Amino acid sequence: MASGVIINKKKFFIASNKEYKVLQKNAILGVEQDDLFTIEEARKYSRKLINLWAKEKSE
């Protein structure tokens, strides 16, 4: 369980190494896990966008 501590009027957050790694991973991703695509979904979505772009380009 994470806890907070104040040292020299500054607040610090104390967490286990496991919690720290999870927080670090979430910060790197910058998005909720629910918003991410699987590889197949990403390929399908990118094909859809490419087809839309090609259709607009040909008009």
**Does the reported pTM lie above 0.75?**
no
Residue 56 pLDDT = 86
pLDDT digits (tens, 9 = 90+) for 6-54: 888 888 888 888 888 888 888 877 766 666 778 898 899 999 999 999 8
For the chain, give every domain's residue range: 3-58
Calculate the dihedral angle through the C-alpha atoms of 10, 32, 36, 49, rounding to the nearest 10 degrees.
-90
How is residue 17 written in tokens?
A: 């190494």
- Per-residue pLDDT at 43: 92
pLDDT value for 26: 80
Cα angle for residues 33, 35, 42 (degrees, 5° grid): 110
What is the band of 58 on the pLDDT scale with cuts at 50, 70, 90? confident
